[in-house]
Amino acid sequence: MIQEILQMEKFAKENGLQLSGHILGIVKRALTDKEEIVIDQHNIISNDLRGKMRDTMNSNADFALDNLQATQVAQASLSAALNGKDGICLFDETSGITIADMLAFMASAVHPTDPSGSYYRQWQGVYQNLTGVTEIADSADLGQNYTHVPSSPPFSSGVLYAANGWADVTLLNNDIITVNWKITVG
């Protein structure tokens, strides 16, 4: 499968069909009511998504996240009740990305419209730190079909669309982080 994905990547590059991603994170500080950009970088497109792109070429299926079901859930409440949900998971990664390291399954929305003429899909996740203590966010996953196994990544039984890590972002009590995640073909 890896070899097929590498061949597809070569074809995609030669024909201008390469998948690329960009993640932008903005924090609204509760104490000052000011917004600051804390993340602005390209992200890693998962081999799972590349494989799904390849598989879909021979089927009549849409694997896009058209209607995200995600709702904001505090870490203490993360449970199997989220199984099957799609969206963005926010982490304070300590030893690899696992559900045990999750700060939140972000309240998410998908923005499928494309007025620019480019081929992309954009997701937005929002999380407010209501824990009463300072939290650190340093990575996120975007995927489909969450499976609640605390020692595993959140989309281990689903499709990981993209993953991204960044320098620590400190979230004080009541700070709100908004993640805009865009995946483009072309």
24 and 37 Cβ atoms separated by less than 8 Å: yes
Our measurement of the distance from residue 24's CA atom to the centroid of its chain's CA atoms, rounded to an integer in Å, reads: 11
The predicted-structure confidence for 43-79, as pLDDT tens digits, reads as follows 877 777 777 766 666 666 555 544 445 555 666 678 8
Q: What is the pLDDT at residue 67?
A: 47
Specify the DSSP element, H or E, that contains 125. Answer: strand 119-128
Q: What is the pLDDT at residue 65?
A: 47
Q: What is the pLDDT at residue 177?
A: 95
Q: What is the pLDDT at residue 37?
A: 97
* Residues of the chain with confidence (pLDDT) below 70: 1-2, 4-18, 53-76, 95-96, 109-119, 185-186
- Measured over the CA atoms of residue 163, residue 68, residue 23 and residue 138, the dihedral's sign is negative
Q: What is the pLDDT at residue 175?
A: 96
Q: What is the pLDDT at residue 186?
A: 58
Residue 7's SS3 state is helix
| pTM score, whole prediction | 0.77
- Domain residue ranges of the chain, discontinuous segments joined by +: 20-45+66-185
Q: What is the pLDDT at residue 17?
A: 60
CA distance 114 to 81: 33
CA distance 148 to 84: 9
Q: What is the pLDDT at residue 11?
A: 63
